[in-house]
Amino acid sequence: MLRVAAVVQALEAIALCAAAVAQVVETVTGRSYQASNGAALAVVEFITAALFAAIASGIARVRPWTRTPGIMTQLGCGLLAIVFLQAHRAGWGLPILVLAAIGLAGLFAPASLKALARPRTPEPAEPPKPEPRPKPGPRPKPAPRPKAANGGPARRSER
């Protein structure tokens, strides 16, 4: 099931890359609302597609760090699919929703959870006990203060 999740993630990266290419074409042909907005959106789409591809590669290589980004990606795609369905774009919404559901099923399969789990570090059997502190003995008497020539307490300048 882990391979299925990696394939779904890769398909989403390819689809996003295709959307970015379409955005570039619209920007170049002047069909974009504003050229700067279209160019910026295309750059963001290409960066996101590269991140999706990196996550797909990590899932295929069974890297533990990919579980959370993979799950978040599938949840985001599921939300996007719901937006498309509410906008009466079932041709876009249903395939995205099906891919997101398959991706989540692949990531939450017991074998996938086990494969992507981080290895646990063994805990020490018993923490070391601190050495007992020796009980303090009687306090030493303070040293006598020096006396002045007249027999009274010495001033700081006379010490």
Say if residue 149's pLDDT is above 70: no
CA distance 98 to 12: 12
- Contact between 70 and 9 (Cβ < 8 Å): yes
CA distance 77 to 144: 83
Say if residue 148's pLDDT is above 70: no
- Token pair 């290589």: residue: 61
Say if residue 134's pLDDT is above 70: yes
pLDDT at 77: 95
* Alpha-helix residue ranges (DSSP H) falling in 30-130: 35-60, 67-86, 90-108, 110-116
Say if residue 154's pLDDT is above 70: no
pTM of the model: 0.70
CA-CA distances (angstroms) from residue 75 to 54, 78, 102, 118, 150?
17, 5, 11, 22, 90
Rounded to 10 deg, the angle between the 2-29 and 67-86 helix axes is 50
Query: Residue 33: which pLDDT band, with cuts at 50, 70 and 90?
Result: confident
**Residue 7 identity (one-letter amino acid):** V
pLDDT at 152: 63
For residue 147, give both structure tokens: 């006396």
Mean pLDDT of 145-155: 65
List of long-range contacts for 17-22, beta carbons under 8 Å, 24+ apart = 17/45, 17/46, 17/49, 19/45, 20/45, 20/46, 20/49
Say if residue 124's pLDDT is above 70: no
Rg, C-alpha atoms of the chain = 34
**What percent of the chain has a predicted confidence (pLDDT) above 70?**
90
pLDDT tens digits, residue range 55-101? 999 999 999 999 999 999 999 999 999 999 999 999 999 999 999 99
- Token pair 């300048």: residue: 157
Q: Which residue has the higher pLDDT, 117 or 33?
A: 117
